[in-house]
Amino acid sequence: MARVVVLGAGISGHTAALHLKRRLKNAHEVVVVSPNSKWNWIPSNIWVGVGKMTTDQVTFALAPIYRRQGIEFHQALATELHPQGSPEEAKAYVSIRYTDSARVGQEARLTYDYLINATGPKLNFAATPGLGPDANTVSVCTPAHAVEASQHFHDVITKLRAGERQSLVVGVGHGTCTCEGAAFEYCFNVEHELRVAGVREFADVTYLTNEHELGDFGVGGMTFNQRGFETTSKLWTESLFRERDVHAITQAHVEKIEPGVIHYEQLDGSKSTLSFDFAMLLPPFRGVDMKAFDASGADITADVFAPNGFMKVDADYQTKPYEEWSAQDWPRTYESAVLPNVFGVGIAFAPPHQISRPRTSPNGTVIAPAPPRTGMPSGVMGKTVAMTISDRILRGAQTPARRASMATMGAACVASSGTGIRNGTAASMTMYPVVPDFATYPQTGRSAKDTFGEIGLAGHWIKYMLHVVFIYKAKARPLWFLIPE
């Protein structure tokens, strides 16, 4: 009997665990380790953050789902990876520390035959002094953060109704942040709710981003074919900002945040301040603090993980100029570069480089988005690796790995710009591939017929439909596996 341990129960890890159990059934063990007791449909946190959904609508308890599926679940944090075991026991294992109230702080070892690292990101608020819910800004990265953001936002609406002018800033809190799409969504949901509340004219809304230009979204922007005309995500996005009277500050790195004041540097090296009454700024991500050791106890963390804490996989990590970047640099199988039977998926794998062009200010500050790896790509990676592992368990260890490179993978993104049955809107975008391939598509790096965007009420309904469908899928309801990733 083989044992597969999955670290993390987000979109990638949870998807992998369900597919593993579906294929391996009870002949083999599937074990999930997650510090959180609940699964969270993160794309809907932005609606929690403006008070349009509750945490119960975007989360559910993991333990009952895993119990029903026959998956062993440990509410714990993975701390150490021992791929060669120890002098006492040669079996590979991972050390965990429990986070559930009954066993909090207790440690244990879980042996494995295969391991999937789907731990996701560490929210690195500490990268920017004054950033985060424990300091001077709010966040929508977790359900609890989003609830707090909603409370602060509605305090702002109360002040606006009392005639107090308010300045609201939404965006990213560091020059290397990712998930600009989530910041974009929250910004326009805030703007929408201000209009619904009848106080928009008294509010100044600013979008603060590290993107070189609007519409970059960390993927270098997109070129759309729209009703027979060619346009870009830059022009498409700028028109929305003009229509909603949202001021944008691009090419920005937030240096520090004091109460009511954001200090930032721009790509030209200039430094400025921005006053605020309400600020939701996303943090940069780094890998979780997990160490790796060989059989003798020697620390091999630097061989297994990149300096940012993400796991090295089958990518080309050579440092080279932007002009030499290639779609072939990106991983295909997500197998660890140095460890047998270990995979890194979702946000947990180390990208070989950014997707957007790297840029540095005259002061040496990197101001460029990190590559997004959330949502649809994470789910595809999780399923692909689950299929590889189950193939090898069922058919033999030499069975070739299945592939799912972001350079051959499409993605759909529906970014809400205001919720409402009749007056909601969302920006719906597709791109193929996620990582531009200029060898195959010389003009833009992407397929013109498969990359497009629309904005309107239909997009809002698609966004809500995805919320319902993917929570159904994550709960492993009947025929869940027929719903694509």
Helix-helix angle 62-69:11-24, to 10 degrees: 20
User: Strand pairing of 166-172 and 114-117?
Assistant: unpaired
Output the pLDDT for position 224: 82
Output the pLDDT for position 275: 98
Q: What is the DSSP string of 109-126?
A: EEE-SEEEE---EEE-GG
Q: How far apart (Å, rounded) are the C-alpha atoms in residues 16 and 378?
A: 10
Helix-helix angle 180-196:233-244, to 10 degrees: 30
Output the pLDDT for position 474: 98
Q: How far apart (Å, rounded) are the C-alpha atoms in residues 480 and 469?
A: 9
Copy the structure tokens of residue 323. 């002009």
Describe the chain by its helix, strand, coil percentages, rounded to 5: 30, 25, 45
Contact yes or no for 475/60 (Cβ under 8 A): yes
User: Strand pairing of 229-232 and 261-266?
Assistant: unpaired
Closest to 186 in 3D by CA, of 41, 283, 284, 45: 45
Neighbours of 484 (CB within 10 A): 10
Give me the amino acid identity at 251. Answer: Q
Closest to 78 in 3D by CA, of 109, 123, 114, 113: 109
Q: How far apart (Å, rounded) are the C-alpha atoms in residues 461 and 268?
A: 41
SS3 (DSSP) at 96: strand
Q: How far apart (Å, rounded) are the C-alpha atoms in residues 17 and 7?
A: 10
Q: How many residues does the chain have?
A: 485
Output the pLDDT for position 49: 98
Q: How far apart (Å, rounded) are the C-alpha atoms in residues 278 and 149?
A: 9
Copy the structure tokens of residue 379. 């789910």
Q: Radius of gyration over alpha carbons of the chain, in Å?
A: 22
Which tens digit of pLDDT belongs to each residue from 364-396? 999 999 999 888 899 999 999 999 999 999 999
Domains, the chain: 3-123+288-395 (3.50.50.60)
Q: How far apart (Å, rounded) are the C-alpha atoms in residues 276 and 159?
A: 14
Output the pLDDT for position 237: 93
Contact yes or no for 367/357 (Cβ under 8 A): no
Closest to 84 in 3D by CA, of 304, 312, 393: 304
Q: How far apart (Å, rounded) are the C-alpha atoms in residues 474 and 405?
A: 23
User: Strand pairing of 291-292 and 72-82?
Assistant: parallel
- Find where tokens 């439909």 sit: 465
Closest to 378 in 3D by CA, of 8, 13, 4, 7: 13
Copy the structure tokens of residue 373. 């790896």
Closest to 461 in 3D by CA, of 430, 431, 423, 410: 423
Series of mean pLDDT values for 10-residue runs along the chain (485 residues): 97 98 97 98 97 98 98 98 87 97 96 97 97 98 98 98 98 96 96 97 98 96 80 91 97 98 98 98 97 95 97 97 96 95 97 96 97 91 98 96 96 89 88 95 92 88 94 98 94
